């Protein structure tokens, strides 16, 4: 009964998040548009240059993840900072179990990230003429990457929101935490781009999944502390 | 409490030990083969500094977890002291490492994975202090920064062990190599072990000083309260 | 709304509670209890620590010293479970501007594990004097008094065993003030109620009283 | 008398902005640390690759400006969004002349940008081994670039803050506005990097200054409308 | 604080003012004036449009129809100059949390072109009942009533010719309420004052009155 009600409460939070974002409309597609403009700036300024054939897979997957990452951070922090700003945080804190809040917000961030990826990745491949051999591998890497990134940034967003409210601090805390993740994600993407075999992405995928797992476990343990202070 | 003892003996022993180690590093140990000139002597400082930095972050983790369990502000002071020293020793390791790198690899900074890992580590703990600065309330600062420290530590193994192995690296392997043996001239090995012990002692001395200072501050505030 | 909390009686006691902010002592050695079936009024001038005390009772702020206990049938409730028994309204709390009043209350009801239907929520809002034609509008467009009503509804939707109200009738007109008085009366018999207030009219609700000084 | 009091009022706004940022401390150096982490991510992933000698000046100046731009956007939007969030906007609106608000906030953003540049540019040059021939030219380009970027982003920040409040929208609006500016700035930086003569940066500088001028004039005309809605 | 506005007398008149939000008419064909030397009380139940009217008078909201005019010596003041004559306090306004009370008021004084000294500001805050030992603390740490006092001080620091107060004594204790009454009395003689209120005690301040209905 505990578990099933945790699920229903998490879904309530997710539902609230979705309606309220859909209603203010801006925030949701803002992230997408930000990534889009960045994409154009990068493609316009760097795209035309002939990068050595050997460096292409790595360089292009690095650029792709840098764009995705910055697109994401500008949006993901909102999820808690918004509550503090609008002074609804105390209301929510007194009404909901910490884990329900965490999973609800995590779900929202995950949806945001997956949406961002499915918008940016095809466009990037087209604009930068980035050919991907193993599409299935890429999809796997992207999906697992989104989970890991959502977990760590949801957690950091919660910490930030309580720290005298500055959205910019979010970046400072996440970027170094996310760099190892970025490195393995870039590895995975590169592997998917160069080889059609699914086996090629397995090592990177293993690292991504274990990072995601470790972050999630730490988050489940730490979030109640952070949330209730 | 130890505060009574004005002049504990062991810091003096530590100073003596460090003086011997410094002397030995330059005059006792031979110049290593495979390194340019006398450059290898920096290893006696570089490696212990890197080791102490890792140790300090482990101490920080333990203190943070203890704070989360017991909610004693002294544990928070311990965590902060350890992180501060960890930051200082990582900077020292980076400086000596990049001096070394200038001699061995020809440039101060090569984007070697080892160098990047330590740069990220520096950023993580700089962020830790930025976070602490941002929170005025004692209890809240303690619990949030402890949480961040735990979260940061979780990614540390990836930084120190996974990332340098994914990429091809210029940096020497760990001391205990894949064959499980130790490849080092025995006098060098002695000095290195001595330096490790000395730097570890130095760390604990500075650490206890810092913690004691924080305790005095906490106690003064408690007195003001009552 | 039938709710597990309706039949439980929770007593909130605090002993030698003190709170310091930096070097300033706001509360010192305060003891007392919020008893089920009674209304505790917390009075005192602005800045005397009324809100701080309520925040400590709600578990939102940790006291610098002393202890708060929730007891039900002679058993202590662990801090992590306090929130399930608790309803709070305070000036530094808000409900969601982008949701309507009914959506807001549906959300808070689901968080508490209740099967709230829109009509029972509508009845609660009407009880607090918010007419049906306003229910479908975003709370962001409400006037100050209308927002206060939604906030109060949020605090009582799960029929809490402990009700903490901080300046409950601020921004309310006379009708609103009467509605709050009726609400407090309804909860007097079944819950432990604490009201922090600056309004002389609200002092009359008290069964017990704490007077804080600057 | 009007003009001198406008100056003093703008300085009051600037002073308020500076104290309040210095006090929350984080926000100011947050931008710096954000840029720093970005710098490392970019340098780490892209730095080691040998870019063809011919492409270096352009590619490296493009990357530099993209980093500066990311760092800036994460901080500059705050300047108005903060007022709306904290519900001080109405108070300020009723107490101050629009232009005093605009110039005060512009001054703050300018200081932020100049600080960011003096932190990031030397580090970038060192990390990416980017050699600059015309240091004086570079300084000029950077200074004028900061003015132009501050003017356009202050303006957009004001628009954003009023549009149902989302900081992320800021990025969307600035990027297309900033694209032409970015292009001339990259040109100028490239010119400064390749030639020691000050004359080399003159054409780019002319473009930057006129872009900055146009933006400023438009902002002075538009800001009161946006501010008083 | 000597200020140009102290000797000016401004009359704010509104004619057939109406305001619609979407399909809802909040104000319809309302006419009247805020006269110098008199206090206009705007009363009415929650949601009746009191705050909306004050926002229209302050020029923060444009009316859907009708017109507001500021007249000084038989001359109309252009809308862009209204703000210089105007002091406003309302529940949806705040002062800066990261600044102290004195810094806040210094800032607002400089914006109005005044040479305010900390001691005259201190005197104003004392008049409103905020003791000197609080002046150096960040407003973010103030209690609800202390914040309200700073907000009121902000509204009157430049001795405005037109003073618009929306629920001026919300969150205030009795001493605070009396301080506001004294403040209103002080401005009665030299400014045009409008007070929107839900508090029966404040109705007594009125020289003229507008009663809004739902
Ligand atoms: C800026 C450049 C450098 C940095 C940041 C750096 C950093 C580090 C770090 C963090 C460690 C500890 C690793 C661990 O415990 O796993 C380490 C160990 C070591 N470094 Fe460096 N290093 C640098 C350059 C160099 C150079 C140029 C050499 C020699 C060619 C060198 C030789 C060693 C050795 C022999 C060890 C001990 C290996 C072990 O036992 O783990 N380092 N360094
Ligand atoms: N986070 C904080 N940091 C520092 N001081 C604080 C903090 N929170 C409250 N205080 C101080 O504690 C005192 C009591 O505040 P509290 O909000 O409890 O007063 P109150 O009795 O509710 O007053 P009011 O009637 O105005 O709401 C005030 O002086 C306030 O400034
Ligand atoms: N931006 C808006 N959009 C839609 N409706 C609005 C908006 N602002 C106010 N209203 C509506 O106009 C009506 C009057 O609001 P107003 O804030 O003027 O009331 P009030 O008399 O000040 O009430 P209170 O005493 O509660 O402060 C309310 O029904 C409110 O919901
Ligand atoms: Mg209070
Ligand atoms: Mg109102």
> pTM, whole model, 2 decimals?
0.84
In a domain? residue E144: yes
Which of D32 and C109 is assigned the larger pLDDT? C109
- Cα–Cα distance, B202 to E28 (Å, whole number): 80
Task: Quote the pLDDT of residue D69.
Answer: 77
- CA dist., res. E41 & res. D39, Å (int): 60
Give the residue ranges of chain A where pLDDT is below 50.
1, 165
Residue C20 near residue B225, CB atoms below 8 Å: yes
Number of domains in chain D: 1
Q: What is the spatial distance between Cα E102 and Cα A211, in angstroms, rounded to a whole number? A: 50
Calculate how close chain A gets to D176, using CA atoms only, in Å: 7
In terms of phi and psi (left: phi > 0; alpha: psi -120 to 50; beta: otherwise), the region of A26 is alpha
pLDDT at D164 over 70: no
Query: Which ligand 3 atom minimizes the distance to the CA of E196?
Result: 22
Lowest-pLDDT range of C17-21, D139-143, D225-229, E188-192 = D225-229
Tokens of C87: 């309803």
Tell me what pLDDT residue B161 has: 65
CB contact under 8 A, A207 and B162: yes
A223 token code pair: 């979030």
What chain A residue is nearest to D72 in terms of C-alpha separation? A168
Q: For B7, phi and psi rounded to 5 degrees?
A: -120, 80
- What is the C-alpha to C-alpha distance for residues A133 and B81, in angstroms, rounded to an integer? 50
- For residue C124, the domain's CATH number is 3.40.50.300
pLDDT at residue C205, rounded to an integer: 92
pLDDT number for residue C5: 44
What is the structure's pLDDT at C4?
A: 47
**pLDDT score recorded for residue E46:** 95
pLDDT-derived band at E172 (thresholds 50, 70, 90) equals: very high
pLDDT value of position A110: 93
In eight-state DSSP terms, residue C42 is: E
Cα gap B119→B110, rounded to integer Å: 12
Domain carrying residue D207: 2-228
Structure tokens at B147: 């949480």
Tokens (6 digits) for C174: 């006379």
Sequence-separated (6 or more) residues with CB below 8 Å from residue D135: D192
Number of C-beta neighbours around residue E200 at 10 A? 12
Domain count, chain C: 1
- Angstroms from C96 CA to nearest CA on chain A: 7
Query: Across all residues in chain E, what is the average pLDDT?
Result: 92
Range name among B77-81, D101-105, D215-219 with the lowest pLDDT average: D215-219
Partner-chain contact C62 B225, CB within 8 Å? no
Q: Which of E74, E65, E73 is nearest to E16 (CA)?
A: E65
Q: Three-state DSSP class for E61? A: coil
CA neighbours within 13 Å on the CB side: how many for A7?
3
| Pairs of CB atoms within 8 A across A/B | 83
Contact at CB, B130 and D26, closer than 8 angstroms? yes
Pocket of ligand 3 (CB under 6 A): C 141-146, 171; E 21, 26, 44, 46-52, 198
Tokens coding C29: 């050695």
**Assigned domain for E100 exists:** yes
The residue of chain A with its CA nearest to that of D54 is A49
Output phi, psi for E71, to 5 deg: -120, 135
Q: Which of residues 79-98 of D touch A (CB under 8 A)?
A: 85-86
Give the Å distance between the CA of E89 and the centre of ligand 5. Answer: 11
Q: Is A135 exposed, middle or buried (0-12, 13-18, 19+ CB in 10 A)?
A: exposed
Mean pLDDT (chain D) is 81
Q: Rounded to an integer, what distance in angstroms lies between the CA atom of residue E197 and that of residue B1?
A: 63
> What integer pLDDT is reported at residue E4 of this predicted model?
47
Do the bridges between strand E24-34 and strand E162-166 make them parallel or antiparallel, or are there none, so unpaired? Answer: unpaired
H or E segment and range at residue B108: none
User: Would C201 be classed as within a structural domain?
Assistant: yes
The CB-based long-range contact list for B22-26 (8 Å cut-off, 24+ gap) reads B24/B190, B24/B191, B24/B194, B25/B191, B25/B195
Q: Which DSSP string corresponds to A73-85?
A: HHHHTHHHHHHHH
Is residue E111 predicted with pLDDT exceeding 90?
Answer: yes
Contact assessment for residue A100 and residue A12, using Cβ atoms and an 8 Å cutoff:
yes
Does A224 contact chain C (CB < 8 Å)?
yes
Of C134, C137, C153, the C-alpha closest to E46 is C134
pLDDT at B36: 66
Nearest by CB to residue B133, choosing from D26, D40, D127, is: D26
Closest among E210, E212, E213, E211 to E34, alpha carbons compared: E210
pLDDT in tens, E31-54: 999 999 999 999 999 999 999 999
**Structure token pair of residue A134:** 């193993």
Please give the pLDDT value at position C212: 94
**Residue E139 pairs with which residues in a beta bridge?**
none
Nearest atom within ligand 3 for CA of residue E212: 21
**Using alpha carbons only, what angle is made at residue C138 by residues C135 and C141, rounded to the nearest 5 degrees?**
110
Rounded Cα distance between C14 and C54, Å, is: 11
Give the pLDDT confidence score for residue A95 in this predicted structure. 93
With beta carbons less than 8 A apart as the criterion, state whether A93 and A225 touch.
Answer: no
What is the residue-level pLDDT of chain B in tens, covering all 226 positions?
A: 445 556 678 888 888 888 888 888 777 777 666 666 677 788 888 889 988 998 998 999 999 999 988 888 899 999 999 999 999 999 999 999 888 888 877 777 777 777 777 887 888 888 888 888 877 778 888 988 898 888 888 877 766 666 666 555 667 665 544 444 455 677 878 888 888 899 999 999 999 999 999 999 888 877 876 6
E173 and C146 in contact by Cβ < 8 A?
no
B54 lines ligand 1 (CB under 6 A): yes
CA atoms of A75 and A32, how far apart (whole Å): 9
Residue where the block lists tokens 């043996």: B181
Chain centre distance of CA A97:
24
Q: CB-CB: which of B109, B123, B133 is closest to D37?
A: B123
C86 by Cβ neighbours in 10 Å (0-12 / 13-18 / 19+) ranks as buried
Asked if C62 is an interface residue toward chain B (Cβ–Cβ < 8 A), one would say yes
For A219, the enclosing helix (H) or strand (E) is helix A202-228
Q: Does some domain include residue E3?
A: no
Q: Of A38-42, D12-16, D88-92, E167-171, give the lowest mean pLDDT range.
A: A38-42
Terminal Cα-to-Cα distance of chain A (whole angstroms): 27
Kindly report the protein residue whose alpha carbon is nearest to atom 11 of ligand 1.
B50
> What's the confidence (pLDDT) of residue D146?
92
pLDDT the model gives residue B209: 92
Domain positions in chain B are 40-173+183-221
- By the 8 A CB rule, do C69 and C56 touch? no
DSSP B115: H
Query: Which is the closest atom of ligand 2 to the Cα of C49?
Result: 18
pLDDT tens-digit map of A96-117 = 989 999 999 999 999 988 988 9
C-alpha span between B101 and B95 (Å, rounded): 10
The reply to whether E165 falls in a domain is yes
In a domain, E175, yes or no: yes
Distance of alpha carbon A144 from alpha carbon A215, whole angstroms = 13
Average pLDDT, chain A: 81
Please list the ranges in chain C whose pLDDT falls under 70.
Answer: 1-7
How many CA atoms within 13 Å lie on the side-chain side of D44? 26
**ipTM surpasses 0.85:** no
Contact E108 D95 (CB under 8 A): yes
- Put simply, the answer to whether D33 touches B120 (Cβ < 8 Å) is no
pLDDT score, position D165: 45
Minimum mean pLDDT range among C48-57, C93-102, D1-10, D212-221: D1-10
How far is the C-alpha of C187 from the C-alpha of C3, rounded, in Å? 14
Mean pLDDT lowest among A23-32, D103-112, E122-131: A23-32
| A139 Cβ neighbours under 8 A, 6+ residues apart | none
| pLDDT at residue D36, as a whole number | 73
Encoded tokens for C88: 């709070």
Please tell me the distance from the alpha carbon of residue B218 to that of residue B211, in angstroms, as a whole number: 10
Contacts of D118 (CB under 8 A, 6+ apart): none
Does D194 score more than 60 pLDDT? Answer: yes
List the single best residue of B115, B147, B165 to mutate versus A (max A Cβ within 10 A). B147
Q: Is C48 exposed, middle or buried (0-12, 13-18, 19+ CB in 10 A)?
A: buried
Tokens of D123: 């580090």
Interface probe for B, chosen from C56, C59, C64, C67 (most Cβ of B below 10 Å), is: C64
Q: What is the pLDDT of residues A151-182, one digit of tens each?
A: 888 887 777 777 654 555 666 677 777 778 88
Residue D22 CB contacts under 8 Å (≥ 6 apart), including other chains: D28
**Distance, C-alpha A161 to centroid of its chain:** 17
Contact B224 C23 (CB under 8 A): yes
Higher pLDDT, D168 or A70: A70
Domain hosting C179: range is 11-211
Number of the ligand 3 atom closest to the C-alpha atom of E48: 21
Burial level of D159, CB count in 10 A (0-12/13-18/19+)? middle
């Amino acid at each position: 009964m505990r578990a099933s009600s945790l699920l229903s409460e998490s879904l309530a939070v997710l539902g609230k998040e979705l309606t309220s974002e859909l209603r203010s409309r801006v925030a949701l597609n803002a992230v997408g548009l930000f990534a889009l403009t960045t994409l154009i700036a990068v493609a316009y300024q760097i795209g035309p240059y002939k990068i050595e054939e050997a460096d292409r897979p790595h360089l292009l997957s690095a650029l792709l993840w840098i764009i995705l990452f910055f697109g994401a951070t500008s949006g993901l922090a909102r999820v808690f900072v918004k509550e503090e700003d609008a002074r609804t945080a105390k209301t929510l804190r007194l009404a909901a179990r910490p884990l329900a809040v965490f999973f609800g917000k995590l779900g929202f961030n995950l949806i945001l990230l997956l949406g961002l990826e499915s918008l940016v990745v095809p466009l990037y491949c087209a604009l930068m003429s980035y050919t991907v051999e193993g599409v299935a591998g890429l999809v796997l890497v992207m999906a697992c990457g989104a989970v890991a990134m959502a977990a760590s940034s949801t957690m950091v967003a919660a910490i930030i929101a309580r720290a005298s409210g500055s959205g910019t601090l979010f970046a400072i805390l996440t970027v170094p935490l996310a760099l190892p993740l970025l490195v393995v994600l870039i590895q995975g993407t590169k592997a998917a781009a160069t080889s059609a075999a699914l086996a090629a992405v397995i090592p990177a995928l293993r690292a991504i999944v274990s990072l995601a797992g470790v972050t999630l476990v730490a988050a489940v343990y730490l979030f109640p502390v952070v949330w209730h202070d | 409490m130890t505060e009574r003892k004005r002049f504990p003996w062991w810091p003096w022993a530590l100073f003596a030990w460090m003086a011997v180690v410094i002397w030995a590093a330059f005059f006792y140990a031979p110049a290593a083969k495979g390194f340019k000139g006398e450059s290898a002597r920096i290893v006696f400082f570089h490696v212990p500094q890197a080791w102490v930095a890792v140790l300090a972050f482990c101490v920080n983790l333990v203190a943070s977890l203890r704070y989360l369990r017991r909610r004693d502000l002294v544990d928070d002071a311990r965590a902060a002291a350890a992180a501060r020293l960890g930051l200082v020793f990582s900077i020292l390791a980076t400086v000596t490492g990049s001096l070394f790198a200038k001699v061995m690899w020809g440039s101060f900074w090569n984007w070697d994975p080892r160098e990047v890992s330590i740069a990220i580590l520096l950023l993580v703990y700089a962020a830790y202090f930025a976070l602490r600065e941002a929170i005025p309330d004692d209890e809240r600062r303690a619990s949030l920064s402890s949480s961040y420290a735990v979260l940061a530590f979780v990614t540390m193994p990836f930084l120190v062990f996974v990332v340098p192995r994914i990429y091809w690296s210029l940096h020497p392997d760990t001391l205990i190599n894949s064959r499980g043996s130790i490849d080092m001239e025995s006098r060098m090995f002695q000095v290195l072990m001595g330096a490790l012990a000395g730097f570890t002692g130095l760390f604990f001395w500075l650490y206890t000083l810092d913690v004691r200072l924080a305790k005095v501050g906490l106690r003064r505030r408690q007195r003001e309260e009552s | 709304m039938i709710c597990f909390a309706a039949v439980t009686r929770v007593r909130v006691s605090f002993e030698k509670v003190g709170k310091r902010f930096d070097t300033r002592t706001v509360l010192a050695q305060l003891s007392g209890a919020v008893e089920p079936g009674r209304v505790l009024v917390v009075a005192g001038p602005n800045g005397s620590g009324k809100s701080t005390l309520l925040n400590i009772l709600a578990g939102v702020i940790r006291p610098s010293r002393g202890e708060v206990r929730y007891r039900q049938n002679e058993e202590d409730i662990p801090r992590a479970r306090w929130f399930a028994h608790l309803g709070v309204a305070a000036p530094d709390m808000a409900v969601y501007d982008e949701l309507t009043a009914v959506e807001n209350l549906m959300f808070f009801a689901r968080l508490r594990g209740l099967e709230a239907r829109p009509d029972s929520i509508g009845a609660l809002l009407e009880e607090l004097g918010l007419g049906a034609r306003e229910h479908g509008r975003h709370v962001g467009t409400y006037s100050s008094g209308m927002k206060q009503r939604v906030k109060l509804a949020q605090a009582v939707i799960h029929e809490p065993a402990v009700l903490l109200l901080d300046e409950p009738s601020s921004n309310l007109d006379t009708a609103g003030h009467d509605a709050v008085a009726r609400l407090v009366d309804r909860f007097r018999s079944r819950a432990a109620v604490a009201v922090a207030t600056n309004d002389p009219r609200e002092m009359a609700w008290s069964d017990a009283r704490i007077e804080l000084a600057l």
